[in-house]
Amino acid sequence: MSGFVGVLVSDPWLQSQFTQVELRSLKSKFVSTRTRSGRVTVGDLPPIFVKLRAFTEMFDEDGIKAMLGEAGFNMEEELDFESFLKVN
């Protein structure tokens, strides 16, 4: 019998911002992106974000890239999972 394994985040506030379903989905997207390139950078985020309901109604991929650039993000900066969540 397998047990439920939730996604744990070291920052309690950050953990409280997402349901376990959302965390599992985001973790899956993060791991999938990392597997393809060996790392996840800010520049990898627009194609992921455009698929999220919160973004898809308001932005296209180019709009998300522009928003990240205007916010001062370095598109080559590598992200760990918690940083990935903070950007979300």
Q: In terms of residue numbers, what domain contains 71? A: 14-87
What is the distance between the alpha carbons of residues 17 and 14, in angstroms, rounded to a whole number? Answer: 5
Q: What is the pLDDT of residue 37?
A: 76
Q: What does R_g of the chain's alpha carbons equal in angstroms?
A: 14
Is the CB of residue 56 less than 8 Å from the CB of residue 50? Answer: yes
Identify which has the larger pLDDT, 6 or 12.
12
Residue 43 lies in a domain: yes
SS3 state at 80: coil
DSSP category for residue 3: P
The confidence score (pLDDT) of residue 18 equals 86
Residue 40: count other Cβ atoms within 10 Å of its Cβ: 24
The length of the chain is 88
The answer to whether residue 57 sits within a structural domain is yes
**Structural domains of the chain, count:** 1
Whether 2 maps to a domain, the answer reads no
pLDDT at 5 over 80: no
Tens digits of residue pLDDT in 12-71: 998 888 889 888 988 998 898 887 778 899 988 888 888 877 777 788 889 888 988 888
